[in-house]
Structure 1
Amino acid sequence: MANFKEIINKNKTVLIDFSATWCGPCQTLAPILKDVKDHYGDRLTVIKIDVDKNEALSRSFAVQGVPTLILYSNGNQVWRQSGVLTKRELVSIIDVHSA
């Protein structure tokens, strides 16, 4: 958990993707997140967390459904939503909330 918090605090904008291998919508979201990461390059860190392999971490974030996306800016949670979004929607959200 300390390493996780380090990443959130060290990087200006971090998008966390809580997902699962068996989740269809998560598989749909994966290439969208890659496109979003490519759009921002080094200005955005994307962390993918498998809820089945990281149950304690998922519980600590009260993740009840997948995919759940959480956006951090300068170490603070600024946005959270469950479900699939388009690249355009994610870029818009990140632009509004990023440092």
Structure 2
Amino acid sequence: MTLYSQLTPRQLQAEIARLEREEREAEQEGLPSKAAVARQKKNMARSYLMDPATIRTGTWYRLEDEDSRFFVERVLGVMAWGTREGSRVEEAVPIAVLKEEESRA
């Protein structure tokens, strides 16, 4: 088994495309758990294409495909550790699912 950290950007992009197909097929077959696993793997692979230094600690981010916000306390590798808005439970999310909040003017 090859780790995502050992893949080239081109190999990661091919893996992401494969996982997107797998997720889509699982959804069409009515297999939500299988689709969720493919989505999580896809998000991890996408995270390896990102520079973790672009994620700012002490900052709120929107979570992709969710209505919740996430406060980043620290970044370790491709995982951001912190808490969701309204929660005190620390958790980790792949950095690829973090989206900058739109500035409020």
TM-score (norm 1): 0.25
Higher-RCO chain (CA-CA 8 Å, sequence separation at least 6): 1
Structure possessing the higher radius of gyration over alpha carbons: 2
